[in-house]
Amino acid sequence: MIRSTRRWSAFAGTMWRASPWRCAAVLLTLAIDVVGQPAFAVLLAGFTDAALRGDPAGAGVHAVLAASAWAAVSQSRGVRNQLRNDVRDRVGHLVTEDVMRLTATEPRVDHLEDPRTLDQVDRVSAKGYTIADTVWAALEVAAISLTVALTLVVMSTVSPALLLVLPVILITLWLNKVGQDGVRRAVETADEPLRVGANLLRLTHDPRVAGELRVTGAGGAVLDEHERQWATASRVLDRAEARAGVLLAAGWLVYVLAIGAGLVWAATQIDSGRVGAGDLVMILAIARQQQLSVQMAVNGFSRMSEGVVTAAAYDEVRATVAPTARQAAGEHDGIGGRLHRGIALRDLSFTYPGTSRPVLANLDLELPAGTMVALVGAHGSGKTSVIKLLTGMHAPTSGRIEVDGRPLDTMAPEAWRARVAAGFQDFVRLQALARESVGVGDLTAVDDLPRVEGAVRDAGAEDVVAALPEGLRTQLGTTFGGVDLSGGQWQKVALARGHMRQDPLLVVLDEPTAALDPLSESEVYTRQLSYARAMARRSGTVTVVVSHRFSTVRMADLIIVLDRGAVVEQGDHDHLMAAGGTYARLYTLQRDSYVGPASDATGRAVMNDEH
Ligand SMILES: Nc1ncnc2c1ncn2[C@@H]1O[C@H](COP(=O)(O)OP(=O)(O)OP(=O)(O)O)[C@@H](O)[C@H]1O
Ligand SMILES: [Mg+2]
């Protein structure tokens, strides 16, 4: 049932950590169960015999003891249920937190783009508590086995023939197991449609997509699809549960017939004196207890089914995420104070996890220290992917990135990240106080107000802050009752966050002005350029800008043109214009769309006029 003892003991350890005294109490109640049940049957037999003998004192003592045994067993079951549920909730919390910590702190993000890992993370965070059920059920089944063994020993004192009940119990349990195995497989199969359905449902009340859903009228269709996915999952689960039900009913039928036969046999033996009345009562009591025990074992196994699937998912998440974290931990973090040579991409190719098509192929690039590099290319040509690799979000599938000649994957990711400032294309709208939303760009300085103000200034976001009712102390975003910002204002806050890093060796700006109006865009780029120059002088910093705005791109020391994941041209503006290739064509096209065909082949005068 549980594949490895190591995993089992790890889970048992987690449960013990969740609440040691509750776990100890549960074990005690199980011990009471194991001893109490056979004791009750024996005492009941003693009571019957004493009563039939005409021994009221003996009967009285046996009656009191039997009642006490029964009371102890039933009380301990009630208490056990309560304690078990408490531990289960705590284990759910611990397991969810563990998985979330693992996935959120892992330096790379490959696992967040792998649908299988995401499925498993969802399952563990929603059903982590079922792992506790698995361990409880295993313990319970062990205790029940002991109880059944003891009751069988007691029964065998009447006649060894009664031991034949054991194979019957095993048949009942086996039939139940076959059914539960089917349920477990169904739970695994239903996972995918349930997850898709849940995501669709979430979509219907996500404020970010509410507008589009209404304009397109797709809300109803999304709900229909959710319904369809849910129905698919239900069908699979219902079928497996119905099958398990039939198998279990068959198991019970066999058991009831066997016990009935045993009782009839015992009754026929009373006249011969080989079986006493007390024995008959005892067999009846044991039959009832065994039926309860088997029922508990059956329940235990069915609780295990879901727990086993969750436990396997938990294991797999740990196995896939943790090794990457260890591997990414790197050998040394001795990143120098400044860049001397720069950053190089060597025969680098990249395929996103879970996909088969390479999005970058055999890139060989030198990004010299102290330069500003512009990446241009059509949508989907791989610009953001290059940024993700440079910032260490993903590891190249082959080839490598070198920083001053040293492979990036031998450096501790945290150390490298501490020297990277980033403005991402899909920037985060971090709903917190404005000062925190900016300050988290460098966690060590989140409370350093002058630093936060400096970052706001460097990013040209003073106008956004000035418009906030309480300035940097304003709560941003509506989730916590704060002020919502426009897309452009959010982007400026994100840019300011990028400016919190002091002394970066790499600055990446992926479409940093996509949400801004032309005036703000121009102003932001002017500031970014002077910031990039200042950083270059100070630390040899490389700034990589992704932009469709050619008046900015042309300022770069090096322009790299990507097409479907390959470098098709590189050089500075003059060089690329003279070459008359893709860049020259795109540049001329953009310039002409603003001012009409120009006579100046380089467009320099025209574009400079824009500033
Ligand atoms: N997480 C992902 N998983 C799988 N494929 C992806 C992922 N992100 C991007 N891609 C694919 O990689 C290719 C390059 O995408 P990328 O985001 O790097 O393009 P881009 O040049 O930044 O485009 P844009 O100008 O639209 O931002 C695209 O074909 C895209 O479909
Ligand atoms: Mg992009």
Rounded to a whole number of angstroms, the distance between the first and last alpha carbons of the chain is 71
Report the pLDDT averaged over residues 244-268: 88
Q: Which residues are 508's β-sheet partners?
A: 422, 544
Alpha helix segments (H runs only) across 432-475? 434-439, 449-458, 462-466
Asked whether the predicted pLDDT for residue 325 surpasses 70, the reply is no
Q: Percentage of residues in the chain with pLDDT exceeding 70?
A: 94
Percentage of the residues of the chain whose pLDDT score is greater than 90: 34
**Residue to probe by mutation, ligand 1, list 381, 509, 561, 582, most atoms within 8 Å of CB:** 381
Residue spans of beta strands (DSSP E) within 391-443: 398-403, 406-407, 420-423
- Output the CA torsion 307→310→316→322 (10° steps): -100
The protein residue whose alpha carbon is closest to atom 5 in ligand 1 is 352
* Protein residue whose Cα sits closest to atom 24 of ligand 1: 379
The ranges of the chain annotated as CATH 1.20.1560.10 are 5-326
What are the residue ranges of CATH 3.40.50.300 in the chain? 341-419+504-516+541-611
Ion ligand 2: protein residues whose beta carbon lies under 5 Å = 383-384, 425
Which one of 155-164, 177-186, 512-521 scores highest in mean pLDDT? 177-186
pLDDT digits (tens, 9 = 90+) for 213-224: 788 878 888 899
- Least confident range from 38-42, 279-283, 567-571: namely 279-283
The answer to whether residue 1 scores a pLDDT higher than 70 is no
Two tokens, residue 139: 């313990």
Pocket test for ligand 1, best of 352, 363, 387, 426 (most atoms within 8 A of CB): 352
Nearest CA to ligand 1 atom 7: 352
Q: What is the pLDDT of residues 431-470, one digit of tens each?
A: 889 999 999 888 888 889 999 999 999 888 999 999 999 9
Report long-range pairs for 410-413 (Cβ below 8 Å, ≥24 apart): 410/330, 410/331, 410/332, 411/330, 411/332, 411/333, 411/335, 412/329, 412/330, 412/332, 412/333, 413/107, 413/108, 413/328, 413/329, 413/330
Lowest mean pLDDT among 108-112, 528-532, 559-563: 108-112
Q: What is the pLDDT of residue 286?
A: 84
Ligand 1 centroid, distance to 562 Cα (angstroms): 12
**pLDDT value, residue 322:** 65
Give residue 38's Cα distance to chain centre.
46
pLDDT at 332: 45
At residue 397 the predicted structure's pLDDT band, cuts being 50, 70 and 90, is very high
Ligand 1 centre to CA of 373 (Å) is: 20
pLDDT band at 609, cuts 50/70/90? Answer: very low
Q: Domain 5-326 adopts which CATH fold?
A: ABC transporter transmembrane region fold (1.20.1560)
Question: Nearest C-alpha to atom 31 of ligand 1 is from which residue?
Answer: 380
Pick from 509-523, 545-559, 578-592: least confident: 509-523
- What is the pLDDT, as a whole number, of residue 333? 54
Please report the pLDDT score of residue 610 as a whole number. Answer: 39
**In the predicted model, is pLDDT for residue 323 greater than 70?**
no
Neighbours of 250 (CB within 10 A): 15
Give the pLDDT band (50/70/90) at residue 497.
very high
**pLDDT at residue number 386:** 96
If you average pLDDT over every residue of the chain, what do you get?
Answer: 86
- Of 98-112, 175-189, 296-310, 560-574, the range with the highest mean pLDDT is 560-574
Looking at all shown ligands, the one closest to residue 353's CA atom is 1
Ligand 1 centroid from CA 383, angstroms: 8
Predicted pLDDT at 20:
92
Of 188 and 577, the structure prediction assigns the larger pLDDT to 577
What is the CB < 6 Å shell around ligand 1?
113, 352, 355, 359, 377, 379-385, 425
- The residue whose C-alpha atom lies closest to atom 3 belonging to ligand 1 is 352
CA dihedral (138, 141, 146, 151) in degrees, to 10, reads 170
* pLDDT surpasses 70 at 110: yes
pLDDT of 40-95, one tens digit each? 988 998 999 999 889 999 999 999 999 999 999 989 988 988 998 899 899 889 88
CATH of domain 341-419+504-516+541-611: 3.40.50.300
User: What is the average per-residue pLDDT within 389-415?
Assistant: 89
Residue 450 confidence (pLDDT): 93
CA distance 102 to 104: 6
Q: Among all ligands shown, which has an atom nearest to the Cα of 375? A: 1
pLDDT higher than 70, residue 156:
yes
The two three-digit tokens of residue 80, written as one number: 């056990």
What average pLDDT score do residues 329-333 get? 47
User: CA–CA separation, 356 vs 291, rounded Å?
Assistant: 55
CA geometry: angle 573, 576, 577, nearest 5 deg: 80
- For position 330, what pLDDT does the model report? 46
Name the closest-CA residue to atom 16, ligand 1. Answer: 382
Decide which of 228 and 267 is more confident: 228
- SS3 label, residue 313: helix
> Is residue 564 exposed (0-12), middle (13-18) or buried (19+ Cβ within 10 Å)?
middle
Give rounded-to-5 percent helix, strand, coil for the chain.
65, 10, 20
